[in-house]
Amino acid sequence: MKPATRKVGNNTLAVYTLWKREVVRFLRQKNRIVGALGTPFVFWLLIGSGVGRSFHAPNGQNYLIYFFPGMMLLILLFTAIFSTISIIEDRREGFLQAVLCAPISRGSIVVSKLLGGTTLGLLQSLIVYFLVLPMGIPFSLERFLGVVLTLALLGMAMTAVGYILAWPLDSVQGYHALMNLLLMPLWLLSGALFPAEGAYGWIKTLIFLNPLYYGLEMLRFWLSPYSSLDLGKLLMYFLITLLFFITMTALSIWVTDKVKVKHP
């Protein structure tokens, strides 16, 4: 076997093995399933029901329907957080050092982590999606495929953001601090809780600068019967989300290759 072919085979096997490890470990930790899936669902029910008719959603829609895409985005966020925390845990246990010494590329480590987090987030989001369909969420094969594609892009991008934050850290507490400082505001300023059009000027600017806003608007297009997004904007938002995903993935590979990890 040629060295180049052997190298590709090693990387492919490494991606599959590390991806499988992420999925199996998640399924064995029931508390992670409850936390990643239950917390956003409770947020959706409590906030959506509590706001009720106090909030005038666009086109007079029910606030629960308006908030639903934001809740699915929150599931991806929590899954990305729990998935990338394992980088710090693996470093403490010595597993990460063993993987770094293996004859595989650093990129395969990144890809396996991103695929693992995205797979878990996508599965949980789709479970909630099918549970909530009877509440008035429109469904067709085209809409379903649009939801899957959008969730996959957002899941990869958000897992990559969590990866970039977690890689240089050796403290779970430090990661949580960064998560509260960066990742949660990123979600809050995505338009998940309120439309950008009604926000104050500086908040509106921050929302439009937030790449998650464009992915969320795509998700809302597929999930809401009230979306006013035209096909031209949908294509533009898709390209912005795709660029966000590519940029974060490239940064993840760069961080893995260039930034020295702190060992316990």
User: Environment class of residue 170 by beta-carbon count within 10 Å: exposed (0-12), middle (13-18) or buried (19+)?
Assistant: middle
| pLDDT of res. 216 | 93
Give the separation between CA 108 and CA 124, rounded to whole angstroms: 24
Report long-range pairs for 54-59 (Cβ below 8 Å, ≥24 apart).
55/194, 57/195, 57/226, 58/195, 58/197, 58/226, 58/228, 59/226, 59/228
Question: Measured between alpha carbons, how far is residue 155 from residues 64, 197, 203, 245 in Å?
Answer: 22, 26, 24, 9
- For range 239-244, the mean pLDDT: 94
Distance set, CA 175 to CA 29, 190, 231 (Å): 20, 21, 39
> Residue ranges per domain, the chain?
3-258
Going 48 to 227 to 235 to 146, the CA torsion angle's sign is positive
Burial code (b: 16+ CB inside 10 Å, e: under 16) for 217-256 equals: bbbbbbbbeebeeeeeebeebbebbeebbeebbeebbebb
> Which range (33-42, 131-140, 154-163) has the least confidence?
33-42
**Higher local confidence (pLDDT), 106 or 243:** 243
pTM of this prediction? 0.87
pLDDT at position 260, please? Answer: 63
Q: How many residues does the chain have?
A: 264
Task: List, in order, residues 6 or more apart from 195 with CB less than 8 Å away.
Answer: 57, 58
**Measured CA angle at 116 (ends 254, 146), to 5 deg:** 100
Query: Could you tell me the pLDDT band of residue 25, with boundaries at 50, 70 and 90?
Result: confident
Q: Where are the alpha helices (DSSP H) in the chain?
A: 3-28, 30-51, 63-93, 95-101, 106-132, 141-166, 172-178, 184-188, 201-209, 211-223, 231-258
Q: What percent of the chain has pLDDT over 70?
A: 86
pLDDT score of 7? 64
Task: Please compute the mean of the pLDDT values over residues 159-181 and round it to a whole number.
Answer: 85
Residue 246 pLDDT: 94
Under 8 Å between Cβ of 88 and 173:
no
pLDDT of residue 54: 66
What is residue 226's three-state secondary structure?
coil
> In which band, very low, low, confident or very high, does the pLDDT at 236 lie, cut at 50, 70 and 90?
very high
**242 vs 52, more confident:** 242
User: What pLDDT score does 209 carry?
Assistant: 92
Residue 223 has pLDDT above 70, yes or no: yes
Higher pLDDT, 51 or 4: 51
Mean pLDDT of 36-50: 71
Average pLDDT in the 194-204 region? Answer: 78
The rounded distance, in Å, linking the Cα atoms of 14 and 36 is 26
Question: Residue range 136-156: average pLDDT?
Answer: 91
| Token pair recorded at residue 19 | 């991806």
Q: What is the pLDDT of residue 58?
A: 62
**pLDDT at residue 225, rounded to an integer:** 72
